Each structure stands twice: as structure tokens, then as C-alpha cells.
Amino acid sequence: MALRWYTVVVDCHDIAAQARWWAETLDWQIVYEDDNEVAVIPKHLTDDRIDDLDTWLRTGQGLVFVPVPEGKRIKNRLHIDLAPHTSQDRDAEIARLVERGATVTDVGQPGDVTWTVLADPEGNEFCVLSARDR
């Protein structure tokens, strides 16, 4: 028996703004929103019921944004890695993220790594990896 990795939950102050920022970053869609939660999933997925277990287990993950009163104080213990395809301009993608409110940040990574650490508008770290084709 296997469990499905369903979502990653992101604590934040402005759940609507964070969800929209990540939905635009990933070209995903908002499928649920209220004052306590905003859920985003890839556009090719549906929020319709899936009765077949095998299909349900292969369905991708989403992100859920929930409000918390406290601010972020330390480096994330879990983060998201994003990767451009080899046909994309990695530096242009990073510049686009920065223009939209991300910041390049240092979490102690060595200077010769093949990824760039950024933080979203509320300070949650994520990485943009080198270009990939798988």
C-alpha cells in the first residue's frame, strides 16, 4: 500500500498573494480559496473526483497556503526546487522571478553550486536548478 504525496503546505501572512505568486510562477491554477486556505494545482490536473486508485496515486502534488501569525525566523527545513528545461534561458527565468518579488538569498551555499537560492515575497527559500531535460 502507498500513500499519495498530496500537497506541500506553505505558512504565510497573505495567503491570497502568496498563492497567486506561486500559481503564476508555476503556471498553475487556483482551485480553492477562502480566508483560511488557498490551494493551487498544475493546470493539466483537475480537482474532480478520481475513483481509480492507480490514477489517483500518479496524480501530481499541489500547494496549499495557510495563514500563520508568526513571521519566518530561520532557514526553511524543506524547500522547493524549480528547474528550467534545457530549451529555456535559466538566467532570464531567475530575472523574471526577481522582477516579480523574489530575492536572491544566501543560506550558506558554496559559491560554486549549480543552483541559485531565492526567497519568495514572504521569505520562503526555494532553488532554481541548472537546466534539465528529465
Mean per-residue pLDDT for 11-26?
A: 97
- The per-residue pLDDT for range 60-113, each reduced to its tens digit, is 899 999 999 988 888 888 999 999 999 999 999 999 999 999 999 999 898 899
Average pLDDT, the chain: 93
CATH 3.30.70 fits 7-67, yes or no: no
Share of the chain above pLDDT 70, in %: 99
- Segments making up each domain of the chain, as ranges: 7-67, 80-128
Residue 2 pLDDT > 90, yes or no? no
- The per-residue pLDDT for range 37-48, each reduced to its tens digit, is 999 999 998 878
Residue the block writes with cell 528529465: 134
Would you state the pLDDT for residue 1?
64
Would you state the pLDDT for residue 73?
83
| pLDDT bracket for residue 114 (50, 70, 90) | very high
Task: Using DSSP bridges, classify how beta strands 37-42 and 28-34 pair: parallel, antiparallel or unpaired.
Answer: antiparallel
List all residues 6 or more positions away from 67 whose beta carbon is below 8 Å from its beta carbon.
11, 12, 13, 15, 35, 36
Share of the chain above pLDDT 90, in %: 74
Would you state the pLDDT for residue 56?
86
